[in-house]
Structure 1
Amino acid sequence: MALVEFLRGAERAQLRAMLGFTLIAGLANAALIVVITRVAEAVSNGAPPSALAWGVFTGAFVIYYAANQFSLLRSMAIVEDLLTRKRLTIADDLRKSELLVADGLGRGRLFSLVAKETNHLSVTFPLIVQALQQMILLGVSLIYLLYLSPLAFVIFIATVGLGAVGYRAINRRFADVLRHVERMQARTMDTILDIIHGAKELRLNARRAAAIDAAYRKRSYALERLLVKSVEHWVALILLGSLATFAMLGFVVFVFPEYATGQKAVIFQLIPILLFCMGTLSVTLAQSPMFLRAEAGLQSILTVERELSRSPGITPDQARAAASQFSGFEAISLNGARFSYDATDPGAYAVGPLDLTLDRGEVVFFVGGNGSGKSTALRMLTGLYPLRSGWISADQVAVTPANMAGYRELFSSVFVDFHLFDRLYGLEHIAPGQVNRLIDEMGLTGKVTFADGKFDQLHLSTGQRKRLAMIAALLEDRPVYVFDEWSAEQDVNFRDYFYHSLIPLLRDRGKLVIVTSHDEKYWGVADRVVKMDLGKVEWVRRGSDFNEEPMGK
């Protein structure tokens, strides 16, 4: 079971303490039932409760209360600690995993698992502890039932055995429904995220808005049907418990007096014990859908964790240590480098093979139409996409999976699909004045301020957000800068600043600057221009050529 695998992560001493007090609470609860039954029997015979009975009852209650409180609180502490560690592990594995692996998991699935399923586990685990106590109580009650009437004990076991057959059939269908629920919840979450992130596009296109609304409604109704079906299984479990209870009681009441000799004297004791045993079992059965859902959610979490763990990753300290072998590089080379999104399909669109050498202190522009492979080539060059064939080298050092994270430490980038962080993570030592000077240089004074370790405003135009991303990249001060269509959303002044001021400044500092661009009139700024088409290099020319002839040739 996934739950057992999950609990193995807890400290053994904590688990033993929780289980020990759970056992004590269960036994104390059973003692209370026995005392109450004995006292009721004595009262029915005209005898008042004895002082001993009062003392045993009070002592058992105090022990039950204290042990139960400790076991529940300890269980919550254990599960919250395990869930926190699980969330941190998934976040860490996600951060270190390969980009394609993380993208393949899907945002909706990750959000649903890390937030929703872990919260469900947090709520369910105390119920599991209570169920364990109920099973201990049931065990003691069955011993007492065996003492009162071995025949009644056999009937109870037979009833439970028959009920277990029905339970397994219901449980199997319920587990299948839960798997479908998880997948549909992830798809519904994806649609919600599309509605949130695509707010502008949807408000400008009524047809698109209506289509995504229809898609969301379709998935919501499908999820509703699945959840209703899951409730149907829950109702079936409750009815199964009721059916087993009344069938057994009917047998005891109607058959025992006529055909079972010697049972009439204890039948009034048997009925409450049987009711109690079946009631305890029925409550646990009624809660079992929550346990099954927790088990299914935990299995999904562990599956995602295993998927992420297959992607090799190293710690930030290891990455920085591995980066030292590349820090003094003079040239980066792509050697027959090729990548395709579908490694299993030889006919799938691919970029490469690429054979290029990029020198430190050089400015290289990648140009070409949309879909020509420029952005993919940058992801290959930076090590974000794994090569299907060929290799990358920095000087004479081959980039391998073992040192890939260190190689990536060479790059600062602003990709087309960049994410803007509100904090300068990893740059906490930077003085606010230095950041605000760059904000002023980027023309953002009055629109955003850096204070208390964060930007106070991110709700800006795309071009302004790109300037904030540029500030973060400049502050990193890496040897290689990658700018993917950075100038596309800039006005004339900042486009000119980018090409005629910023890029030459970085080149003068000895940086390798790699830019994808459609701005043909600025191609002359580059030392070399690489034209791509259909994933291949069509030509490589000097940037100065474009100062001597009309653009576009």
Structure 2
Amino acid sequence: MKLLELLQNEAMKSKRLILMILVSGVCNAMLLVLINKASEKIDGDRSFIFLASILAVMLFLLAQRYILRQGTKKIQNVIEDIRIKIIDELRFAELSAVEALGNSEIYARMSDDTQRIAEASLDLIKALQAMVLVLFSFIYIGTISLPALVILLLGIVIGGVFFFYNNKSAATVFKEVARKDTAFYQALSDMLHGFKELKINRQKSDDANIHYRMAASEVNTFRVKARFINITSQLATESLFFLVLIGVVFVIPQLQEYSDPNIVKISAAILFLIGPVTLVIGSIPSILEASQSAENIENLERSIRSAKSNTDQYHVGKDNPLDLQHEIALGNLYFEYPSSESNGFKVGPFSVTIPKGNITFIVGGNGSGKSTLLKLISGLYYPDSGIITKDGVPISPDNYQHYREMFSVIFADFHLFERLFGLGLIDEQKVEILLSKLKIDHKTKFKSNTFSEIKLSTGQRKRLALITALLEDKQAYVFDEVAADQDPIFKKFFYEELLFELKALGKTLIVVTHDENYFHLADRQYKLQDGQLISND
């Protein structure tokens, strides 16, 4: 089982935990033996049995306390390792591959699946304790009556065969549950991210709600189906135990003479076993579901790992940007999305030259390929063919990350971090000056490397993104529609002052814009249409 594979490394580190599981199971089984012994000596001295029973209970409780505390700690260590491992894998994956995976898939694996693994792992520990108890109870029954043990084992074998085929079906259902979970998260994501669009259009909201309800209902249907399969197994197993009990009480006495105390002891032992066996069976659905979750996580890691590029094998924190002296050039660059994404949209082949210290505008209608071109220029997408050169030197797997480090980028769908990462301790006064310069100081403050407020309008958030980019002080800036959603005064400031201030500092500026009134300010201008370069001014 994938769950056991996932936990075995951590379990091997804690032999004491395994020992305590054995101790708790043995102590529990000893109580059965001691209680039966005590029932034989109703009129005799039972003080030793009494003290032994108290000792067994105390040892059981101490072992149980240790198991639950250490087990919880070990399980959480496993969950932490999973999450850190996935994040580390994601950091070095290609952007296009992460986009193909989708946020819903990653969220489902990182939240629901890890939570199921944590919960089922504790169930697994309890099941192991119960199995130790069952094993020692079998040994005890065998010392009293071999025929009773044979009947009991026969019942277990019959139940095991039924259980195997039943839970094979449950495992298949849990695979479908995982798929439906991802669809549910996608529907939930649509409801949250598209809230404004749904709020303004009731028909759209109603249709989206129906889709969301259907996704939630499908998850529920398959979960219930899987649980029903297990309930059937549980009832069948309990029925087998009662049949075994009937066999012990009515059949064995016909085969061989037994004293009443022995039959009572065996019956008590079998009744004692029903609880632990039911616990083991009851834990199987969560263990199966967690095993499927472990497989989901393994598949996610495999997908991310296969999306990792050799260009991303670099040492964190030790990547100095390349030094741009003359120009960036794209030679016959071509890129095509997989057919399942963006309907196989492609850009190129085209050749573009971006001189150092120049202002380069990229213009074109929506869907013309501007954002894709920016991702190629900044090294976030790898071209299917063609070459990127810096000062005439080709960008290769050995220096791709160093090439990326030249850029500071604000995409149209940018993410604004509340905290400034990767800049060390920033001079707060310097940030306050920029906040004032970009007319945003009345909306947010900066302290301890953190903006006090980022839940602002789109235009205001873009100004904060600009401040972050300026603080990064990179050689090249890529601005994708940064001036959109801004008032005319700020637009004028952005095009006529800020861009030229950066140009005077020797910065290379690549700007996507629709503002025709400012096209004349660019040193170069490229126009795209349907992924093709149609003019070069």
TM-score (norm 2): 0.94
CA shift at 1:264, angstroms?
Answer: 5.0
Given candidates 463, 467, 472, the residue that maps to 2:468 is: 472
CA shift at 1:275, angstroms?
Answer: 2.0
Paired residue total: 534
Q: What secondary structure is seen at the aligned counterpart in 1 of 2:396?
A: coil
Q: Deviations over 1:420-440 (max 9, x none)?
A: 111111124111211121111
Q: Is the 8 A contact 1:322 1:407 kept in 2?
A: no
Give yes or no for the alignment of 1:493 onto 2:492: no
Paired with 1:468 and 1:390, the residues of 2 have a C-alpha distance of: 35
Q: In structure 1, what residue type is equivalent to 2:407?
A: F
Q: Is the 8 A contact 1:234 1:289 kept in 2?
A: yes
Given candidates 257, 273, 284, the residue that maps to 1:262 is: 257
Paired with 2:265 and 2:398, the residues of 1 have a C-alpha distance of: 72
Residue of structure 2 in register with 1:34 after alignment: 33
CA shift at 1:343, angstroms?
Answer: 6.7
Q: In structure 2, what residue type is equivalent to 1:262?
A: E
Q: What secondary structure is seen at the aligned counterpart in 1 of 2:10?
A: coil
Change (3 A) 1:389 1:57: same
Give yes or no for the alignment of 1:321 onto 2:318: yes
Residue of structure 2 in register with 1:376 after alignment: 372
Change (3 A) 1:59 1:102: same
Identity of aligned residues (%): 31
Paired with 1:485 and 1:84, the residues of 2 have a C-alpha distance of: 39
Paired with 2:225 and 2:267, the residues of 1 have a C-alpha distance of: 35
Q: Is the 8 A contact 1:410 1:478 kept in 2?
A: yes
Q: Is the 8 A contact 2:324 2:390 kept in 1?
A: no
Paired with 2:97 and 2:292, the residues of 1 have a C-alpha distance of: 22
Change (3 A) 1:120 1:308: same
Paired with 2:113 and 2:324, the residues of 1 have a C-alpha distance of: 47
Residue of structure 2 in register with 1:10 after alignment: 10
Change (3 A) 1:392 1:323: farther
CA shift at 1:174, angstroms?
Answer: 1.4
Query: How is 1:178-217 mapped onto 2 (pairs within 5 angstroms)?
Result: 178-217=174-213
CA shift at 1:143, angstroms?
Answer: 0.9
CA shift at 1:88, angstroms?
Answer: 1.6
CA shift at 1:411, angstroms?
Answer: 0.9
Give yes or no for the alignment of 1:175 onto 2:171: yes
Change (3 A) 1:227 1:275: same
Residue of structure 1 in register with 2:158 after alignment: 162
Residue of structure 1 in register with 2:287 after alignment: 291
Q: In structure 1, what residue type is equivalent to 2:4?
A: V
Paired with 1:380 and 1:11, the residues of 2 have a C-alpha distance of: 46
Paired with 1:344 and 1:440, the residues of 2 have a C-alpha distance of: 46
Given candidates 119, 122, 125, the residue that maps to 1:126 is: 122
Paired with 2:467 and 2:4, the residues of 1 have a C-alpha distance of: 48
Q: Is the 8 A contact 1:415 1:484 kept in 2?
A: yes
Q: Is the 8 A contact 1:179 1:296 kept in 2?
A: yes
Paired with 2:445 and 2:103, the residues of 1 have a C-alpha distance of: 31
Paired with 1:293 and 1:419, the residues of 2 have a C-alpha distance of: 34
Q: What secondary structure is seen at the aligned counterpart in 1 of 2:387?
A: strand
Residue of structure 1 in register with 2:297 after alignment: 301
Q: Is the 8 A contact 2:3 2:117 kept in 1?
A: no
Residue of structure 2 in register with 1:457 after alignment: 453
Q: What secondary structure is seen at the aligned counterpart in 2 of 1:487?
A: coil
Q: Deviations over 1:408-465 (max 9, x none)?
A: 1111111111111111111241112111211111111211212232212222211111
Residue of structure 1 in register with 2:436 after alignment: 440
Give yes or no for the alignment of 1:356 onto 2:352: yes
Q: Is the 8 A contact 1:319 1:405 kept in 2?
A: no
Query: How is 1:337-352 mapped onto 2 (pairs within 5 angstroms)?
Result: 337-342=333-338, 348-352=344-348
CA shift at 1:472, angstroms?
Answer: 0.6
Q: Is the 8 A contact 1:28 1:63 kept in 2?
A: yes
Q: In structure 1, what residue type is equivalent to 2:32?
A: I
CA shift at 1:329, angstroms?
Answer: 4.2
Residue of structure 1 in register with 2:332 after alignment: 336
Q: RMSD of the TM alignment (CA)? A: 2.1
Paired with 2:77 and 2:276, the residues of 1 have a C-alpha distance of: 30
Q: Deviations over 1:258-306 (max 9, x none)?
A: 3x11345422221111222343222210121111112111221222122
Residue of structure 1 in register with 2:498 after alignment: 502
Q: Deviations over 1:94-125 (max 9, x none)?
A: 23321122222222222222122222322332
Paired with 2:218 and 2:339, the residues of 1 have a C-alpha distance of: 34
Q: In structure 2, what residue type is equivalent to 1:178?
A: F
Query: How is 1:85-124 mapped onto 2 (pairs within 5 angstroms)?
Result: 85-124=81-120
Q: Is the 8 A contact 1:100 1:385 kept in 2?
A: yes
Q: What secondary structure is seen at the aligned counterpart in 2 of 1:338?
A: strand
Q: In structure 1, what residue type is equivalent to 2:44?
A: A
Give yes or no for the alignment of 1:24 onto 2:23: yes
Paired with 1:531 and 1:323, the residues of 2 have a C-alpha distance of: 32
Paired with 1:312 and 1:352, the residues of 2 have a C-alpha distance of: 24
Given candidates 44, 47, 62, the residue that maps to 2:44 is: 47
Residue ranges of structure 2 left out of the alignment (5+ in a row) = none
Paired with 1:333 and 1:42, the residues of 2 have a C-alpha distance of: 96
Paired with 1:298 and 1:198, the residues of 2 have a C-alpha distance of: 31
Residue of structure 2 in register with 1:529 after alignment: 525
Q: Is the 8 A contact 1:142 1:277 kept in 2?
A: no
Change (3 A) 1:319 1:362: farther
Q: Is the 8 A contact 2:409 2:479 kept in 1?
A: yes
**Stretch moving more, 103-112 or 2-11:** 2-11
Q: In structure 1, what residue type is equivalent to 2:412?
A: V
CA shift at 1:62, angstroms?
Answer: 2.3
Paired with 1:25 and 1:58, the residues of 2 have a C-alpha distance of: 14
Residue of structure 1 in register with 2:231 after alignment: 235
Q: What secondary structure is seen at the aligned counterpart in 2 of 1:384?
A: coil
Paired with 1:319 and 1:328, the residues of 2 have a C-alpha distance of: 22
Q: Is the 8 A contact 1:482 1:514 kept in 2?
A: yes
Q: What secondary structure is seen at the aligned counterpart in 1 of 2:484?
A: helix
Q: Is the 8 A contact 2:11 2:18 kept in 1?
A: no
Q: Is the 8 A contact 1:481 1:513 kept in 2?
A: yes
